[in-house]
Amino acid sequence: MDAANGRGDRYVRVQEVGARDGLQNEPQTVPTDIKVDLIERLARAGLPAVEAGAFVSPKWVPQMADSEEVFRRIERRDGVTYPALTPNMRGFDRAIAVGVTEVGVFAAASETFSKRNTNCTIEESLERFRPVCAAAQEVGVRVQGYVSTVLGCPYEGEIDPGIVADLCGRLYAMGCYRVSLGDTVGVGTPSKAADLIDRVAETVPLDAIGIHFHDTYGQALANTLACLDRGVRVADSSVSGLGGCPYAPGAAGNLATEDLIYMLDGLGMETGVDLDAVAETGAFITGWLGRAPASRVAQAFAGKRAA
């Protein structure tokens, strides 16, 4: 039994990040109505976690400026978690005020990326998270720790796995119930991803490790499979492969949810997610954005419909 989700080893918890990580880098402002519709569609598709916003400075991430309004308006479904990013106490207080029940804090394994992304060193970022974790524990809110640039940094290049493992261990000790490994620039390959899981599992229990791959070099699905083979059972993905990072030049979108679900279905894994519903949701949001989905499965479905 997998302690991270209370279900059997064939179950993979797919965490949808399209409405936050997927939209935060869009150049055009996505209206609140569209975000709410997107989140509710994803929840109805059976995704157990739908990241719904980020309580960060609107100066730096203007696309997330309406996160309070989004949380006030979404119809929350039983059994679905709606996490939000809260990098400091100010963001945490804003999130709690609108009923957020799971928050995320995010550090980087690269000093340069940390300074570019959060305007502080790695050590300073951890000090910001301590009061957030303590306050969350007091009110019964779970905290997930995200670590970015775990397999490479756009400024520093390859990252020492020992640094990643140490950082993950510190976040776990601080109170993060799960630590998610983010290949922010999408440079990882399956063998490096699998080796990193082995290294991080020395400091964090395996069932408390999640993965978050970007698909810059087309390796996200292969990397995910390699980590599943190591026993990881929590994976982030983004509908239609939306995403990117304003502080990682050249980074492509996230692993597409449609592609991940198709692979997991083919492996006989359990997700509880309706692939057709996710594909329809992808068509909805990419249609609004005015572009084709990055998901190969979505493209195949569209071709069949056209035929």
Which residues participate in catalysis according to the annotation? 245
Locate all alpha helices (DSSP H) within the chain, ordered by sequence. 32-44, 67-73, 89-97, 111-118, 122-139, 161-174, 190-200, 220-229, 257-266, 275-289, 296-306
Does residue 168 contact residue 203 with C-beta atoms inside 8 Å?
yes
Q: Are 233 and 5 in contact (CB under 8 A)?
A: yes
Angle at 176 (CA atoms; ends 227, 126), nearest 5 degrees: 105
Q: Exposed, middle or buried: residue 306 (CB in 10 Å: 0-12, 13-18, 19+)?
A: exposed
Q: At what angle do helices 220-229 and 257-266 cross, to 10 degrees?
A: 40
24 in Cβ contact with 246 (< 8 Å): yes
How far apart are the C-alpha atoms of 307 and 300, rounded to whole Å?
A: 11
- Per the document, the length of the chain is 307
Residue 287, phi then psi, degrees to nearest 5 = -60, -40
φ/ψ of residue 171, rounded to 5: -65, -40
The dihedral built from the CA positions of residue 79, 85, 89 and 91, taken in this order, carries a sign that is negative
In this structure, the strands spanning 209-213 and 178-183 are parallel
DSSP, collapsed to helix, strand or coil, labels residue 238 as strand
